Structure 1
């Protein structure tokens, strides 16, 4: 934590006005106050157009970025955060858990108004409160470089939702990724946020997980999905959404034509909710990833979902982890994929289900039809852990051994998987290519491990990292 200590008095200008900290622990927090005379210089919140301006506006252009932040801290009566000063020229800024408070957040916002390098900002768990939230959204009206903002775990509540809602309705910033997890948002907050998102077309990814939306909030969210034309990813995991919310969300998804990724895990949809989602899978041609883990969906609900999968042509990832599914339910799922020649399924997660050897034989038949598919299950009944471990060998070592024998590089081997010698492939294309080649036969576990090693942040398998890797 020493890296986050504020600057010593000898490293900042005019620091004789700052009090000596009482302990090194106190220096880690940006909320340390200076004497009362400095407090009189704080800008008033009433005028939002000038809220983030320093008294001498010319300093915005004549003062360096670090000096500007130091001056802002002086005006706000807080101690500068050294982590912010060190990374002002980096694209990613992580200030999570720094105890910024509203005043420290405002100083950060003042400095970022003219910053052109920071693209992603994280200020989760900083008790930024209403004033800090207002400062950040005002900054975003002027800064057109910041694209990702994480203000999760700040207990923003209804007042924070109002500020964010007003900001989203303007459609006036470059922000496309907004994380609002764990902010004590309830159904009244959902109403405000949904009203804004219904008309917002700039936000592409939003995280509303770990909040307190109930079925009423779910109805509002469903209506929003039917109107929204911008969202690509929505996270509603760890809320209080039950069957009624599932039905409303499903109705919204039937009309939605943009959403690709939806996380509904850790809610309470039950079999009724599963039946509603099954209808979505049958009709929706856009959704590519659906997570409904831990939703109290039994084999009865899975049988409904299976019928939807028989017609679906877009879904690639389906996560059903921690649902009470039997082997019969698991079998229904894989057979529904086999029946669908246009299925694009790449990953089916039923990793809490212990399957039988007969299930594995059936699955091999499904793999023959859909080689891109990877089904993750718990284990096979009767197969010892020791035997399972003995079947696993480092896949990269096997490929290296083959490359040495042929006197080629590992990169040459991977480039040969594509007719064009491409350096990147989607995970599904990679699996297809690896299962078709017979020089280095790998089992599913090895392929899964290999994909994890080569997969980048966008989900693409990237071979270029091997060009700089040591043998």
Structure 2
């Protein structure tokens, strides 16, 4: 069954009971009036006036003409048009079958509303399906159509998609459905229901008991419109399919809808996709699903259930034993939501289809959900992880599930990695690398391993024999990992390997591992050099112009080594050296002057500290001399440096 426009077979109304009619004739103003008892079908009772036994045709017609003139005058004066859709019951001059079709009534209504009749309406009023999608009939067109369909007994499926019908125009259609007992399918997608329409929709749901499918997709239904809608849904016991997708239902409206779902006992398919259901609204929707025992298919895609909705949905899956198909794709369900949903899936034994794609589940979440459905009680047949990549382990679990029962999985591709978004698993080596490590630890040669396998006459080992042999040897690999090793060794995809393939694969893997180690070592050295540069940017040895280490730059002026280094320094760097020396000299003078002032002040305060200060002066002079010697320009003598330092101190 299509999720958007489900098809229902034509209903055979042969089961309807005959109407027990009793006529009592009374003479009043020369007109015989027939009264009908036990009338339950309005469309059929209105046709009684055209029966061959109708006394109206045997009496004087002056009363009928008088009533017709009176109705015509009322119709001309009724500019607002009563929404109860009182239909003129004129029978003279009409074929009997037109009473149950409404063609002439539709033309009369169009003429009264000053609009042109739609040819498609006139031609299809006798068919079981009336498809008027994208015709732009508008408010007045809906008004005229509702008048004609009130008495129509042919149309069972009505499609009014995208017809620019206003909220006031939808009230006429819903009022018509309240009395019509033949229409079972109604599609009002891409129209505007609004507040007026929601109130009329409530009354229709309270009175109608034949409508099976109602599609209100993109009808601008807001939170304020959900309260009357919920009241009607709670009382209705005939509606089977309800589509409320692409509307503006938020938290408050979702709470009303959730309460209605818990009380309704007829809806089997419900679509709330493409709304704004989040937080409290999502929780209430899931609570309603938990209490419902009729829903078989639920579409909650493209909402924002989030973590709160996932927790509530987990409880729903544990308690509900009726839902067979659930769509929660594009609902902001992360990998931690998958853990909650997995707990519900483990306890559920009825769900057959789960669509949870385009969520940030990561491989970890996919693995948890798939493992939860991999049990004997589960009836899962299809799981959609569209847009989410999986690894070979997940693919192997899905393959084992398909071997046990009819099971299909859709995903976003297979990746040979365990790194996932949101949660990063502990990195593990390649399965073949782990197998090589196992063989080295046990001192098992490749030839010894190959001899332990069961082989055929051609000395070939099949996939099954390879798996059984490694499990017998207690290799630390899972089944899916052993299959991955087999696929890597069997490059020709023959399904069998020989000793040559085994040794070639082992040697190739050893070379790959060696290259990986070399790259890792080089990367570690590069990172170490970068860290050292960040910590000490002056640390570099380059005689073509870059600064030398302090141990080399700080040589005593006049030495040969300093002369050799100074010859390779460009002129601009020499100027920077001179400026740095000058600034250091001025700074040292300032420091010495301030120290002298401080010593004089301290001496006046404490004469006994003169000896200590003289020693401190000598140590400072020696320190300044050493600094100036390291910063001295090439060609300057040590004697000049000492003179400059003494002058600065004095």
Report TM bin, short chain: 0.5 to 0.7
Question: Is 1:243 paired with 2:272?
Answer: no
What SS does the aligned partner of 2:388 have?
strand
Aligned residue-pair number: 343
For the 8 Å contact 2:303–2:330, the answer to whether it is kept is yes
For the 8 Å contact 1:279–1:308, the answer to whether it is kept is yes
Aligned to 1:373: 407
Per-residue Cα deviation, 1:45-86 (whole angstroms, up to 9, x for no partner): 56454x251363555846474444333322332212222233
What SS does the aligned partner of 1:84 have?
helix
For the 8 Å contact 2:254–2:277, the answer to whether it is kept is yes
**CA distance in structure 2 between the aligned counterparts of 1:176 and 1:60, rounded to whole angstroms:** 31
Per-residue Cα deviation, 1:212-258 (whole angstroms, up to 9, x for no partner): 11111122122112211111111111111112212111222221111
Aligned to 2:419: none
Tell me the CA shift for residue 191 of structure 1.
1.0
2:113 to 76, 83, 88: 76
Aligned to 2:295: 259
Aligned to 2:125: 88
Change (3 A) 1:368 1:104: same
What SS does the aligned partner of 1:132 have?
helix
What SS does the aligned partner of 1:310 have?
helix
Aligned to 2:224: 188
Aligned to 1:344: 379
Change (3 A) 1:121 1:215: same
Change (3 A) 1:268 1:332: same
Change (3 A) 1:153 1:45: same
Please give the TM-score of this superposition, normalised by the length of structure 2: 0.50
**CA distance in structure 2 between the aligned counterparts of 1:381 and 1:86, rounded to whole angstroms:** 58
Question: Is 1:176 paired with 2:176?
Answer: no
What SS does the aligned partner of 2:413 have?
strand
Per-residue Cα deviation, 1:99-136 (whole angstroms, up to 9, x for no partner): 11121112222222232332211112222223422221
Per-residue Cα deviation, 1:13-46 (whole angstroms, up to 9, x for no partner): xxxxxxxxxxxxxxxxxxxxxxxx9997485656
For the 8 Å contact 1:39–1:77, the answer to whether it is kept is no
What SS does the aligned partner of 2:386 have?
strand
Aligned to 1:155: 192
For the 8 Å contact 2:193–2:219, the answer to whether it is kept is yes
What SS does the aligned partner of 2:412 have?
strand
**CA distance in structure 1 between the aligned counterparts of 2:168 and 2:331, rounded to whole angstroms:** 37
**CA distance in structure 2 between the aligned counterparts of 1:143 and 1:186, rounded to whole angstroms:** 27
Map 1:65-214 to 2 at 5 A: 65=101, 66-170=103-207, 172-214=208-250
| RMSD between aligned residues | 2.5
**Unaligned 5+ residue runs, structure 1?**
1-36, 383-471
Aligned to 2:439: none
Aligned to 1:324: 360
Tell me the CA shift for residue 349 of structure 1.
1.0
**CA distance in structure 2 between the aligned counterparts of 1:188 and 1:342, rounded to whole angstroms:** 43
Name the structure, 1 or 2, with higher relative contact order (CA <8 Å, separation 6+). 1
Map 1:296-311 to 2 at 5 A: 296-311=332-347
Aligned to 1:361: 396
Aligned to 2:324: 288
**Unaligned 5+ residue runs, structure 2?**
1-71, 417-650
**CA distance in structure 1 between the aligned counterparts of 2:203 and 2:95, rounded to whole angstroms:** 27
Per-residue Cα deviation, 1:134-161 (whole angstroms, up to 9, x for no partner): 2212322332111011112222211111
Please give the TM-score of this superposition, normalised by the length of structure 1: 0.68
The higher radius of gyration belongs to 2
Change (3 A) 1:372 1:70: same
**CA distance in structure 2 between the aligned counterparts of 1:284 and 1:380, rounded to whole angstroms:** 33
For the 8 Å contact 1:38–1:77, the answer to whether it is kept is no
Whose helix fraction is larger, Structure 1's or Structure 2's? 2
**CA distance in structure 1 between the aligned counterparts of 2:362 and 2:280, rounded to whole angstroms:** 25
Aligned to 1:230: 266
What SS does the aligned partner of 2:152 have?
coil
For the 8 Å contact 1:54–1:72, the answer to whether it is kept is no
Per-residue Cα deviation, 1:401-453 (whole angstroms, up to 9, x for no partner): xxxxxxxxxxxxxxxxxxxxxxxxxxxxxxxxxxxxxxxxxxxxxxxxxxxxx
